Each structure stands twice: as structure tokens, then as C-alpha cells.
Amino acid sequence: MKLYTKTGDQGQTSLVGGRVDKNHVRVEAYGTIDEANSVIGWAMTLLQDEKFRDIYQELQRIQHELFDCGGDLAIVSEKMPYKVKEDMVTFLEERIDAYIQQAPPLERFILPGGSPQAAALHMARTVTRRAERCVVALMKQEQMNKVVLQYINRLSDYLFAVARVVNARLQVKDVEYERSAIVFRDKNEKKGESE
């Protein structure tokens, strides 16, 4: 098998059910998801210690699911079934809820960083946020699997939660943004204020 086909030498690429220019909004969306996947792969190289085994395994699962997201966004044919389903979003939500309990309480914005491992996860988070903006642009112009947007949105939250847990496990304190107001409050605290 050759790695090059020369079919894209005129600036177009194949989708499932058609061809488009390589700068098409659909290609930009799944290409940016691919970038996020690559940054996650880099972050994983920093998370090979046993204390991160659970996170490493989850990230590997997420890498496969990001391929599913990209594949779904490459579909322009109405006959192909989508791979990204709601249960994938639910998994991320469950993991976010679990990780929130493992990190110190958060009241203010934090600076991306702390440990090298957390910094890599924050990089993955920001590329995922960019991917989300690209998916939104696609959704406004063309048909697509809308669950992909939910998944990408939740993934950036997951990466934020995991970055904080990694710092906590390494006993590295998150650095609060020094001019931040209190922006995160406990839901029970909010409830008490409104009563």
C-alpha cells in the first residue's frame, strides 16, 4: 500500500459520498478533531506512570472515539449510519463527575499548566475547543451527526477535569488567575443563596 495517492494534488479530498476542496468547512472540522487527537496522544506519552493508568486507558478509548467523530463528519451520504452515539457523551459526563470529586474545590479560573502532564492536557483541551468551533460552523451550513458536537463539547470539559486531577495526584497546585472573580460555586451553595 502506498501512503500517497496523488488524488489530492488538485486541492480536493474524498468524503463518504463525495469530494470537496481541502479547505471546506467539513474538512476543517474533522481535521481539527484529528489535531486534538494528536495532542491527546502526546499527552498520553507523559501519563505512563501507574498512578495515571485509569486516565491513560480512558484517553486511549477517547482517541478511538475521536476517529469515530471524524468519520461521522466525513459522511455526506444519507445511507451511511453514524458511529457516535449518546452513550459516548454519557461516559464522559460520568467520568467528569467522578474526577470533580478527586480535585480540590474550584472557585476561580485557573491558568493552564501546573505539571507538564496537566499542561499537555490543557493543550489538548484548547485544541478540542477549536474543533468545537469548527463543528459548530459545519452544523450551521450542512447536515451532520449532531451528537458529535455534544461529544466534543463534553470532551473539553473532561480534559479540564482530568488536568486538575493529574495535578492533584502529583501534588501540584493549580494556579488561580489572580484577577478572577469567584466564578464556580457549589450548586448547594447557590441554592441556599436563592432561598
pLDDT on residue 16: 67
Q: Residue ranges per domain, the chain?
A: 12-176
pTM of the model: 0.88
CATH architecture under which domain 12-176 falls: Up-down Bundle (1.20)
Residue 121: which residues within 8 A CB-CB, separation 6 or more?
Answer: 43, 159, 162, 163, 166
Cβ burial, residue 43 (10 Å; 0-12/13-18/19+):
buried
The C-alpha cell that represents 4 in the structure block = 500517497
Q: What is the mean pLDDT of residues 160-170?
A: 97
* Model confidence band, residue 176 (pLDDT cutoffs 50, 70, 90): confident
Mean pLDDT of 49-73: 97
What would the mean pLDDT of 51-80 be, rounded to a whole number? Answer: 93
What is the pLDDT, as a whole number, of residue 191? 43
Whether residue 188 has pLDDT greater than 60? no
Backbone angle region of 175, left / alpha / beta, with phi > 0 → left and psi within -120 to 50 → alpha: beta
Q: Which residues contact 123 (CB under 8 A, 6 or more apart)?
A: 39, 42, 43, 112
3-class SS at 75? Answer: strand
Q: Which residue has 468524503 as its cell numbers?
A: 15
Interior CA angle at 149 toward 146 and 152, to 5°? 150
How many CB atoms are located within 10 Å of the residue 134 CB?
Answer: 21
Q: Is residue 192 very low, low, confident or very high in pLDDT (cuts 50, 70, 90)? A: very low
| Mean pLDDT for the stretch of residues 30-52 | 97
> What is the pLDDT, as a whole number, of residue 7?
66
